[in-house]
Structure formats: C-alpha cells, structure tokens
C-alpha cells in the first residue's frame, strides 16, 4: 500500500508547518484552514479511521485528545475550541489516516456541518 500524505509528512518527504511533535503524534497547521487556528493532530501509527480503530488504539486516541488540550492551553485558546474527526466519504474524509482537527479563533456555529 502506498504511504498516505500524512506518512510522507511524518517522514519529512513533504514539508509542513509543524506545531508539535512527540513519539506518538505530529501536529501540523492545515493548508486550507477553516478557522484562524486550524491544526491537524496526526498519530504516527496509521489508524485509517475511527470505524477501523481497535481497543489497542485507545492509548493513541487518548494521547491525541490530551495533546489537543495541552496545545489549546499553550496557544491561549481559552475562549473555546472544537475537535473534529471525519470518518468516511460522507463526512468529507480526504486522507485515510485518522487525524483530529483542532479549530479555534472564531465563534464556531452549532450544529456543525
């Protein structure tokens, strides 16, 4: 199987604006931001999508959420932020490598989508 776009970014084959990196994930700025702050939290281990996750992925998925909270504090997003995970074509998933969108910096409407 060919590497995903995110695997190529993790391998530094494609440049990206990296906001954070640790042993389990990389966080980059979205190239088509939907809010003033739009980050993508990407696990280094490929999980294609939430619907294909397994109990063994729980620690990785939890790490993404905890990392999002730490970044929100670091970036001063006290007014609020939203985490979004798309799953499948009807949810506009464009890369088959699970990732979490962190959106902030403007009033976010409800309901989303």
Q: Which residues contact 102 (CB under 8 A, 6 or more apart)?
A: 27, 37, 38, 39, 40, 41, 68, 71, 72, 81, 82, 83
Q: Which residues are catalytic?
A: 99
DSSP code of 75?
T
């Amino acid at each position: 199987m060919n590497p995903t776009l995110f695997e190529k970014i993790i391998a530094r084959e494609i440049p990206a604006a990296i906001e954070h990196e640790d042993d389990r994930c990389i966080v980059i700025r979205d190239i088509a931001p939907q809010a003033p702050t739009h980050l993508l939290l990407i696990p280094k281990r490929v999980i294609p999508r939430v619907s294909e996750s397994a109990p063994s992925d729980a620690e990785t998925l939890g790490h993404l959420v905890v990392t999002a909270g730490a970044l929100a504090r670091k970036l001063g997003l006290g007014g609020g932020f939203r985490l979004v995970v798309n799953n499948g074509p009807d949810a506009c998933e464009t890369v088959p490598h699970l990732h979490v969108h962190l959106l902030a910096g403007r009033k976010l409407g409800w309901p989303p989508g």
